[in-house]
Structure 1
Amino acid sequence: MSKQTPARACGIDFGTSNSTVGWLRPGMDTMIALEDGKITLPSVVFFNMEERRPVYGRLALHEYLEGYEGRLMRSLKSLLGSKLIKHDTSVLGTAMPFKDLLALFIGELKKRAETTAGRAFDEVVLGRPVHFVDDDIMADQEAEDTMAEVARKIGFKEVSFQYEPIAAAFDYESTLEREELVLIVDIGGGTSDFSLVRLSPDRRFYDDRHEDILATGGVHIGGTDFDKQLSLQGVMPLFGYGSRMKSGAYMPTSTHINLATWHTINSVYSQKSQLALGSMRYDIEDTQGIDRLFKLIDQRAGHWLAMEVEETKIELTHTESRAVAMDRIEAGLNVDLTRVLFESAIDALLERVRNSVTALLKDAGAAFTDVDTVFFTGGSSGIPALRNGVAAMLPNARHVEGNIFGSIGSGLAIEAKKRYG
């Protein structure tokens, strides 16, 4: 097929926090605009109870924050590989299988891409993390199978997969003028994925790149995990996390952990959860924190608080601190969250990331000094402590920043053109 002909297939990067669609077209941007001229569609669905309809992306977040009655669901990709995927959830008063929820959102991606492209897409290359599930091959394969099933259900006739960091590598390769040994560091919302790849201007046209992929690896750690730790260490103590019971024991933490985890926030609003909290209030020495917790739950402000924490994480990539005002919970209540606190909170997670990079290089039989370039991509790849930690391991490597949200989608589009024409 001529290089001047638009590709038949698209590439979809269904992300934990943001999603994109790429399509190779001569003389045009690879990434397709999905919402308000932007290439990303936040992976969010809001079921608007008043108007009985689902809303997606930024508009979903806007309607939720404006106070519309309904249910907000985010971090949908985290369902893949979890036990929840086989169950239902309550949506607009009816039971909806979680698989159908995924189909709803990925189907919206397909519909918006086709509307912008002015044509249908029957073939797709889907991005996937190196590991949906750590250390469980069967669960990992089941997660991929579920995603393929969903893609076929929404109308794709041909479905294939590419590792997300490999897709990012192909995007970077399109800019090269000489051969390089490249470590791709892809830190997304749910996973940290790594690939050691040999790239060059000549190799980019090869159909079979198996020998150029020296090793792949990763861990189930991403931006939502960093959010969770920042929330637990910096915010949840205001709501009773770490409080002592009269017996001397610590207050049970399940409610705080659920509030700090995007896809479990709704569970704290259940009658069972609130009754359990109420029964323990009288056994707590200082009830100030748990009383604030009741106010937060009464206002259903869990997602609002999670968004404040996420925004703080983003701000701390380029500032030393951010003040979070919580007057909606209690007049004058605020907390100053610092980069030092954040880095301390995620230190154990970053150690696992560094260990994964070490294991990857060992698998490839490569020395730390062999790596020419570190290519950073993914929404959480800008965290200074993460970058500095990886950089310190690779003394000879230069650092390149890809399109944080577009590199994977672009690489998947390149792969889609190769596979389907």
Structure 2
Amino acid sequence: MICGFDYGTSNCALGVPQDTNVQLVPLEGKHTFLPSTLYALDRDLITEFVARQLTSTVTRQDYVASRRNALTRAQRARREEDISDSDQTLFFGRAAFEEYFEWPEEGYFVKSPKSFLGATGLRGEHINFFEDVVAAMMMNIKARSEKALGTEVTHTVIGRPVNFQGLDSEASNRQAIDILTSAGKRAGFKEIEFLYEPIAAGLDFETQLEKNMTVLVVDIGGGTTDCAMVRMGPNYLGKTDRQDDFLGHTGERVGGNDLDIRIAGKHLMPLFGMDSLLKNGLPMPTQLYWNAVTTNDVSAISLFNSMETKYQLEQLRVDAAQPKLLQRFLKLREEKQNFHLVRNAEEAKIALSEAQQHRLILDYIEEGLEQMVDREAMAQSIAPPLEKMLQLMNEAITQAGEKPDVIYITGGSAKSPVIRQAIQDNIGNVPVQDGDHFGSVAAGLTVWAKRLFQ
């Protein structure tokens, strides 16, 4: 069976053809999307999980040879932690969040690994590890899908952003595609193709059009914002070569995660001493706080977790005018609750799509700790990344040399009325239409998979 696979930064979804339509496969209960999260009892058990799932003897032998050190460490972890072969060692999606929230200090938690795939300067062992993380997640999603469908899924089109990273984008894109391809092959896909995510979202929209139009497709994903100006409509349906129909496309590594980080930094980090003063009247250094919440940057998180940062925070606690706030920050770092904090910021962003105010309860940090966030204040805090998103939209329009007839927006963060209003204010009197914010990319990928493989 063929499928469209949206391996997203925030969520994953998989679609399959159903007569003339597309069916999104339930991946977790009735949910057709699965949060892009993984929790392992030990980091090296991720590699062990992949090795155990490989079905080809030759592939497994080659893989074991390339991961010998990690697999040896996995066996040691099993002995030291008394983990039996029958114990569940990896958790995915909402279950991964639950395990992390309950045991943040005990295991290894990763959220949005897609954000890291194009990172520059990765050594070979880092690339191997990201391949293993992605392969484990793909294996899990493929197995869930096949269980729900009752048949094997063999051919797939996987979505990709226009650019995985802003710097040295060609090399970053090649590295990320290589990781996704290797992981997909290990997961058991026999044929893998890729398609730009905004184009995929547009293909889903095109099936609904009754006349030909020029559409600005805006896909605000968790890790990237991608835009495409596309001629589409009844005259274009069924074409397999659409190169001449795409009038312009842009993409950059700025997405929903960046909005969450800004909300966490501006509204939650002050509870831990950001914007407070030292005893000498000078302001508290802020980079430590941004490192804590920049969960889509490997180097920032590594620095926050380093002993250097621990010693620096301990000294700042001595020098702080409000040492209690720094003590709270030290506790957050020690208990690895920074991912939880950014998750709270994401919850606020989602809640403020409907409400004007939202109260965040942070009692996992300290009893009675909470923070109120309102929509207007959130809009101010997310202004820098939102401005970058608007620049990408205008650049795509400039490339096309004409204004769009309609703007089609998709992606989880696109539900925010703050973002929708900013688009209308910036681009002008152009109708804005919402897609399925979580499923349109997977649906479009499935439409393309039908054209390629059937």
Separation of aligned partners in 2, 1:344 and 1:393:
16
Gaps of at least 5 residues in structure 1 are 1-7, 90-94
Task: Tell me by how many angstroms 1:393 deviates.
Answer: 3.6
User: Is residue 409 from structure 1 mapped to residue 442 from structure 2 by the alignment?
Assistant: yes
Residue 413 of structure 2 aligns to a residue whose secondary structure is coil
Query: Counterpart in 2 of 1:279?
Result: 315
2:285 pairs with 252, 256, 267, which one? 252
Residue 329 of structure 1 aligns to a residue whose secondary structure is coil
1:26 pairs with 5, 15, 19, which one? 19
CA displacement 1:67-111 (0-9 Å, x = unmatched):
48422210111111114754657xxxxx97222111111221222
CA-based RMSD: 2.3
Query: Counterpart in 2 of 1:5?
Result: none
Q: 1:287 to 1:398 in 2, by over 3 A?
A: same
Contact 1:194 1:357 in 2 (8 A): yes
Separation of aligned partners in 2, 1:377 and 1:217:
15
User: Is residue 353 from structure 1 mapped to residue 389 from structure 2 by the alignment?
Assistant: yes
Contact 1:178 1:201 in 2 (8 A): yes
Task: Tell me by how many angstroms 1:406 deviates.
Answer: 0.5
Task: Tell me by how many angstroms 1:160 deviates.
Answer: 1.2
Residue identity opposite 1:280 in structure 2: L
Task: Tell me by how many angstroms 1:27 deviates.
Answer: 6.6
Percent of residue pairs bearing the same amino acid type: 33
Task: Tell me by how many angstroms 1:415 deviates.
Answer: 0.4
2:347 pairs with 307, 311, 326, which one? 311
Contact 2:218 2:225 in 1 (8 A): yes
Residue identity opposite 2:224 in structure 1: T
Q: 1:186 to 1:237 in 2, by over 3 A?
A: same
Residue 153 of structure 1 aligns to a residue whose secondary structure is helix
User: Is residue 79 from structure 1 mapped to residue 111 from structure 2 by the alignment?
Assistant: no
Contact 1:86 1:98 in 2 (8 A): no
Separation of aligned partners in 2, 1:249 and 1:99:
45
User: Is residue 229 from structure 1 mapped to residue 281 from structure 2 by the alignment?
Assistant: no
- Number of aligned residue pairs: give it: 406
Query: Counterpart in 1 of 2:49?
Result: none
Residue identity opposite 1:134 in structure 2: G
Residue 353 of structure 2 aligns to a residue whose secondary structure is coil
Contact 2:353 2:415 in 1 (8 A): yes
User: Is residue 39 from structure 1 mapped to residue 32 from structure 2 by the alignment?
Assistant: yes
Task: Tell me by how many angstroms 1:182 deviates.
Answer: 0.8
Q: 1:122 to 1:323 in 2, by over 3 A?
A: same
Task: Tell me by how many angstroms 1:143 deviates.
Answer: 1.7
Task: Tell me by how many angstroms 1:135 deviates.
Answer: 4.7
Query: Counterpart in 1 of 2:56?
Result: none
User: Is residue 99 from structure 1 mapped to residue 131 from structure 2 by the alignment?
Assistant: yes
Task: Tell me by how many angstroms 1:207 deviates.
Answer: 1.5
User: Is residue 159 from structure 1 mapped to residue 201 from structure 2 by the alignment?
Assistant: no
Task: Tell me by how many angstroms 1:376 deviates.
Answer: 1.1
After superposition, residues 110-121 of structure 1 pair within 5 angstroms as: 110-121=142-153
Contact 2:130 2:179 in 1 (8 A): no
- Shifted more, 15-24 versus 100-109: the winner is 100-109
Query: Counterpart in 2 of 1:138?
Result: 171
CA displacement 1:222-253 (0-9 Å, x = unmatched):
11100111111111011011233345544333
Task: Tell me by how many angstroms 1:337 deviates.
Answer: 1.0
Residue identity opposite 2:162 in structure 1: V
CA displacement 1:109-130 (0-9 Å, x = unmatched):
2222222222222321110011
Q: 1:31 to 1:101 in 2, by over 3 A?
A: same
Separation of aligned partners in 2, 1:340 and 1:106:
39
Q: 1:38 to 1:327 in 2, by over 3 A?
A: closer
Residue 152 of structure 2 aligns to a residue whose secondary structure is coil
CA displacement 1:338-369 (0-9 Å, x = unmatched):
11211111112111111111111111111xxx
Separation of aligned partners in 2, 1:268 and 1:139:
24
Contact 2:215 2:404 in 1 (8 A): yes
Q: 1:328 to 1:33 in 2, by over 3 A?
A: closer
CA displacement 1:264-309 (0-9 Å, x = unmatched):
6576455443233223322223212201112323443323222211
Residue 78 of structure 1 aligns to a residue whose secondary structure is helix
Query: Counterpart in 1 of 2:336?
Result: 300
Residue 24 of structure 2 aligns to a residue whose secondary structure is coil
CA displacement 1:10-50 (0-9 Å, x = unmatched):
11101111000111121775211111121101101011367
Query: Counterpart in 1 of 2:70?
Result: none
Query: Counterpart in 2 of 1:195?
Result: 228
CA displacement 1:125-179 (0-9 Å, x = unmatched):
1100111112522222222222222222322222211000100111011111111
Residue 330 of structure 1 aligns to a residue whose secondary structure is coil
Separation of aligned partners in 1, 2:353 and 2:275:
27
Separation of aligned partners in 2, 1:52 and 1:272:
34
Gaps of at least 5 residues in structure 2 are 43-82
Query: Counterpart in 2 of 1:377?
Result: 410
Separation of aligned partners in 2, 1:120 and 1:409:
18
Separation of aligned partners in 2, 1:232 and 1:309:
9
Query: Counterpart in 2 of 1:391?
Result: 424
